[in-house]
Amino acid sequence: MELKFWGVRGSIPAPGPATVRYGGNTACVSLRPSSKGLIVLDCGTGARNLGITLMEGAFGKGAGEASILLSHAHWDHIQGFPFFVPLYQPGNKFHIFGGAKSSSMLEGILEGQMAPQYFPVQTLKNMGASIDIVAIAEGEPFEVERCQVRARTNPHGRAGAMAFRIEDAGRVVVYASDAGYGAAGPPAASLELYRGADVLIHDSTYTPEDGRRYADRGYSSVEDAVGAAVAAGVKRLVLFHYDQDYNDTEVDALCARGRRLLDERGGRDIELVGAVEGSTLTV
């Protein structure tokens, strides 16, 4: 599997000279499984650059097909959706999966941000590509692009955020953005989802100090991410979804802190990667 990071920032885009190295776009990751299909994890503003790149290939000719997994519908996870150009190309096919009580509710959420009060161009129904939307049932395996996928809802705000476990030919990637475990730590079902993953992409919004200060916001600190990675026995931990107010030097320090914490807490064998916009990772 090949992962590419198109947006690694949390909450709101943070472009500018202080964030050029890690990048300012919000959550979006692409995953190419061995089937050569395409899975898109979240559609934050990073999805715009992914879309532009995809248009150079089959998606530009209306012959592209991809699946989009949405962890939840906070702005930083769906704001790139109306600006994802392959959706406007007739012939392209998209399958969207996300957590909601029903598929029509999920459709209504995506449609909502494209209402004429917020967006000038088009509605979800006449974007051009064929789009089907499916609400995911908690814990039940389903197939996406010939990969086995399972989802669990992590505590985050009022509605929670889904984490996804994607298995492809014996390799496992887990995407767990936006998780606020609180003092109790990760729920057993979440740890079971992360168990033994080759790569765990985990919310690492804050330093441990800021994590305690903003405990009510529903995010993880780097300490929480390390705790989850060690408890689940993963092989690689990717820090993700940095606070919008951290500059590159502060994210460097966050990653160094993560390495130290892993070494101190029984995770010496776990490789640590700080997600960088535009970078790739082979699993």
Site of interaction with Zn ion (CB under 5 A) = 10, 76, 178
Q: How far is the CB of 128 from Zn ion (least distance, A)?
A: 28
**58/276 with CB nearer Zn ion:** 276
Among residues 92 and 220, whose Cβ is nearest to Zn ion?
Answer: 220
Output 28 or 231, the one with its CB closest to Zn ion.
28
* C-alpha–C-alpha distance, residues 33 and 128, integer Å: 26
CA neighbours closer than 13 Å in the CB half-sphere of residue 255: 20
**What is the nearest approach in angstroms of Zn ion to the Cβ of residue 12?**
9
Give least dist CB 29 to Zn ion, A. 13
CB of 53 to Zn ion, least distance (A): 23
94 versus 219: smaller Cβ distance to Zn ion: 219
Alpha carbons 163 and 263: distance in angstroms, whole number: 25
How do 28-32 and 2-7 pair as beta strands?
antiparallel
Contact indicator for 50, 32 with CB cutoff of 8 Å: no
Please give the single-letter amino acid code of residue 201. Answer: I
Which residue, 129 or 179, has its beta carbon nearer to Zn ion? 179
Distance CA 100, CA 263 (A): 38
Nearest distance from residue 225's CB to Zn ion, in Å? 14
Q: Which amino acid is at 73?
A: A
Complex with Zn ion: residue 10 or 98, whichever CB lies closer: 10
CB 267 within 8 A of CB 229: yes
Q: How far apart are CA 78 and CA 41, in angstroms?
A: 10
* Residue with nearest beta carbon to Zn ion: 76
Q: Exposed/middle/buried for 218, CB within 10 Å: 0-12, 13-18, 19+?
A: buried
Region of 136 please: left (phi>0), alpha (psi -120 to 50) or beta: beta
CB of 203: closest distance to Zn ion in angstroms? 8
